[in-house]
Chains A and B, each alone.
Chain A
Amino acid sequence: MTSRVGERRLVLRVLAYWDEVREDRAFARLDQIDPCCLGEDWLSCAVLKIEAPIHDSIFTHVGDSFVEQNLSDATFYLADMTSPLLKHAFGYMQQVIDRRVPMSFGGQIRLFHRAALVRSIALPLADDNETITHILAAANYRFRPVEGTIVPSDPADEVMLE
């Protein structure tokens, strides 16, 4: 837990938690992911249960940060994904399944008709430490400054979303 304290970047906090709970195993189990331990970061997380074919995979949790997503349906499939933030977070899901390691990517999306910088991480979960059954993803964003406004002195700060 101590390694996560003071870490300002969401993706590193979630990765550190995943690494902490898995201990010496290759993957963390779904039942090890405790929303209480993740605190507010849980609102920026989503969990997908992997099904075959992959488009039939079902979301078991979508945090409030993915506000653009319509969650009215009782069963929410990967194919129903409309939120650009969610699409970014699960856009490289197949690579995570193939490589069997956590992966983090940054990028640009449009949210609420505005350009935003996004950073996400996708982490594999496996109950038997072999077959990946779920993907835990976390993502956050920051709107790109409108032209003419003050730009952060360090461009890296802009991408290193907290």
Chain B
Amino acid sequence: MKPPATYEVQSYAGSQWKIEAFFDDHDLALAEARRMNESRRHFAVRVVEECFDASTETAITRTVYRSTPIDEHNKKRLEATAQTRKQVNLERAQRRPPARRPDHRHTTMLASAKLSHLLVKGAAIFVVGFGAILSIRFLAGQ
């Protein structure tokens, strides 16, 4: 069975967290933290849960809620940016004609033409070279 928990609502001021209220109920603590956050009188608000295990005599604390007006602002900005980006992409997609899919037949033909062109070039170089050697030999023999 989970040990009973207590909840501290804390606000951040003067580079430290200050306890603002104390509850034995999670939902009440969260509701109060949200109200404090909405009041915009606090730089940051958090709720710290503390569970005390009597068998081990240890207290386990964890932050169950944290919010700042900056977080709220950043969240709204991110949402607005994502929405704008989505709209831009949609409009861009509508404006552009659909991209042509590459024709596989055409690509194969192009590759074989290039290969034959290369072979012809090679043969020509070979013939010209062989002819040149023969000519040099013939001239040297005279």
Interfacial residues of chain B within 5-26, with CB under 8 A of chain A in the complex? 19-25
* A16 at interface by CB-CB < 8 Å: yes
Interfacial residues of chain A within 67-106, with CB under 8 A of chain B in the complex? 99, 101-106
- Beta-carbon nearest neighbor of A95 in chain B: B22
How many residues in A have their beta carbons less than 8 Å from beta carbons of B? 19
Q: Is A160's CB under 8 angstroms from B28's CB? A: yes
Interfacial residues of chain B within 75-134, with CB under 8 A of chain A in the complex? none
* B59 at interface by CB-CB < 8 Å: no
Which of these, A7, A105, A156, contacts B27 with CB under 8 Å?
A: A156
The answer for the CA separation of A102 and B36 in the assembled complex, in Å, is 14
Q: Is B28's CB under 8 angstroms from A9's CB? A: yes
The answer for the CA separation of A105 and B39 in the assembled complex, in Å, is 24
Q: Is A101's CB under 8 angstroms from B20's CB? A: yes
**Which residues of A sit under 8 angstroms from B21, Cβ to Cβ?**
15, 101-104
- Beta-carbon nearest neighbor of B20 in chain A: A101
- Beta-carbon nearest neighbor of B21 in chain A: A102
Q: Is B35's CB under 8 angstroms from A104's CB? A: no
Closest 8 CB pairs of A and B: A103-B22, A102-B21, A104-B23, A105-B24, A101-B19, A3-B35, A101-B22, A101-B21
What are 25 pairs between A and B in contact, CB < 8 Å?
A3-B35, A3-B38, A7-B35, A12-B32, A12-B35, A15-B21, A15-B32, A16-B35, A19-B36, A19-B39, A24-B41, A99-B19, A99-B22, A101-B19, A101-B20, A101-B21, A101-B22, A102-B20, A102-B21, A102-B22, A103-B21, A104-B22, A156-B27, A159-B25, A160-B28
